[in-house]
Amino acid sequence: MRAPCWLIALALLSSGPAFAQGGEPPPVYGIRAGDLHGLIDRSGKVLLPAEFAEVKPGNPLILASKGYKTAYFDYAGRMVIEPQTEIFAPFADGVAPRRMVDATGKSKFGFVDASGKVAIAPAYDHAEGFVDGLAPVGIADAWGVMKYGVIDRSGKLVVPATFDKVLAPSGGVVRAQMKDRPHRLFARTGRDITPAGVDFIGVQSEGMVRIWQGRKQGYATTAGEIAIAPRFDNANEFREGLARVWVAGKYGYIDKRGGEAIPARFETAEDFSDGLALVKEGGKSMFIDTSGKVVLQPEADRVYSFSEGLAVAKVGPKYGYIDKRGRFAIEPQFSFARAFYKGLAGVSMGRASGYIRPDGQFVWRDDATPRN
């Protein structure tokens, strides 16, 4: 008997780095049968059946594992690298880390391309995938103590392997940590661009990096310059040019110069998405535009942020989708629903799960009917 196939919690988004040959990988969406994973494409075609322990879209290949072996497929569902044990991390920026033997006969990590050719010679005791042309690596000392740094696509160590932890690069900058010391921020070239007096560094978003001085938060640019001095008790990353901040017990939004774009007057607020932000004022949920004007007060028990022109809305126990006029484009009928991503949205109806188009029609559906 086959296990029921439930909608995966989130679609596996292949919106990472572009293919080495140019262009972005096509979107793919996760499906599940019990604890096993598979993929469909935007048309609903099954690329990989739900029979793998793990599936991870990469660039330019998709990782799929069973047991102790890993294989790689292209975005047409064709197996490119047969099940093996030497490569077991996702491809990114055209390469994947692989354990190999270096010139001295020691086992080290290097990087290979999708044809298996060595792209970066083995020299590291730990290696992670590339993001924005940078990859975290680790080098152990004689005692086996690992320290971490960052290499570029040539294999050059641009951030020295002297840190206890290096976080995934983002927007061409790298965050590095040492125990009981302030975080450091590095440029793509390896130059330390940490602003003076900063205690903690957040993630990069839209060219801005959230920073802390004590308990106050502000923003630096990816050049390491303080753009907005830390003065907020709570803040969030920039989305669509604005960042949500907490001021005197209310939420508002600032621009990238730190100016008040929308006064802090909301009890709750979400990031901007699809040109609108979901907020609550006077106990009522509503959507505002980037000027702060209320453009929609939906009639629903609960609503979520817009994506691709539609927003999930709940009426009673059922979920549907409203458009930006507040009308139901897809009537409430689902027991669960998620935001649209590149033309599809994941939904469930009782034991059935699948993906729908903006017209509400299923492109893929599994009714979870037991089969012998």
The pLDDT assigned to 7 comes to: 40
Percent of the chain with pLDDT over 90: 88
pLDDT band at 6 (very low <50, low <70, confident <90, very high): very low
291: in domain: no
162: left (phi over 0), alpha (psi -120 to 50) or beta: alpha
> What residues contact residue 361 under an 8 Å CB cut-off, 6+ apart?
none
Query: 142 with 179, same domain?
Result: yes
Tell me: do 147 and 187 sit in the same domain. yes
214 within 8 A of 198, measured Cβ to Cβ = no
Q: What is the DSSP letter of 344?
A: B
Q: Which alpha helices (DSSP H) does 16-109 contain, by range? A: none
- Is 366 inside any structural domain? yes
Sorted by sequence, the CB contacts under 8 Å of residue 122 that are 6+ apart come out as 99, 100, 101, 102, 107, 108, 109, 110
Confidence tier at 12 by pLDDT (50, 70, 90): very low
- The answer to whether 275 touches 306, Cβ cutoff 8 Å, is yes
* Domain limit, last residue, from 166, 194, 222: 194
Higher pLDDT residue, 333 or 13?
333
Residues 355 and 265 both lie in one domain? no
User: pLDDT of 266-318, one tens digit each?
Assistant: 999 999 999 999 999 999 999 999 999 999 999 999 999 999 999 999 999 99
63, 91, 119 - which closes a domain: 91
- pLDDT for 181 equals 84
Residue 1 lies in a domain: yes
358 and 319 fall within a common domain: yes
What is the structure's pLDDT at 155?
95
Quote the domain boundaries for residue 138.
Answer: 94-194
Inter-residue contact 229 to 235 (CB < 8 Å): no
Answer yes or no: is 281 within a domain: no
The answer to whether residues 76 and 29 belong to one domain is yes
Q: Please tell me the least confidently modeled range out of 3-7, 70-74, 79-83, 232-236.
A: 3-7
Residue 99: which CATH number?
Answer: 2.40.128
Residue 360 lies in a domain: yes
192-207, pLDDT tens digit by residue?
999 999 999 999 999 9
Same domain, residue pair 23 and 42: yes
Q: 185, 201 in Cβ contact below 8 A? A: yes
**Same domain for 55 and 71:** yes
User: Are 67 and 115 part of one and the same domain?
Assistant: no
Neighbours of 174 (CB within 10 A): 28
241 and 180 in one domain?
no
Q: What rounded mean pLDDT belongs to the chain?
A: 91
**Does the pLDDT value for residue 19 go beyond 80?**
no
Residues 84 and 108 occupy one common structural domain: no
One domain for residues 75 and 107: no
pTM of the model: 0.87
Q: Is the peptide bond before 4 cis (omega within 30 degrees of 0)?
A: no
Q: Does residue 182 fall inside a structural domain?
A: yes
Helix (H, G, I), strand (E, B) or coil at 287: strand
Domain final position from 91, 118, 151: 91
Residue 241 falls within a domain, yes or no? yes
Residue at 70 is within a domain: yes
Q: What's the total number of domains in the chain?
A: 4
CATH number at residue 356: 2.40.10
If asked whether residues 85 and 8 sit together in one domain, one would say yes
**Which tens digits make up the pLDDT trace of 58-104?**
999 999 999 999 999 999 999 999 999 999 999 999 999 999 999 99
User: Which candidate, 293, 231, 320, 304, places its Cα nearest to that of 270?
Assistant: 304
| C-alpha dist (Å) from residue 238 to 142, 184, 284 | 43, 21, 24
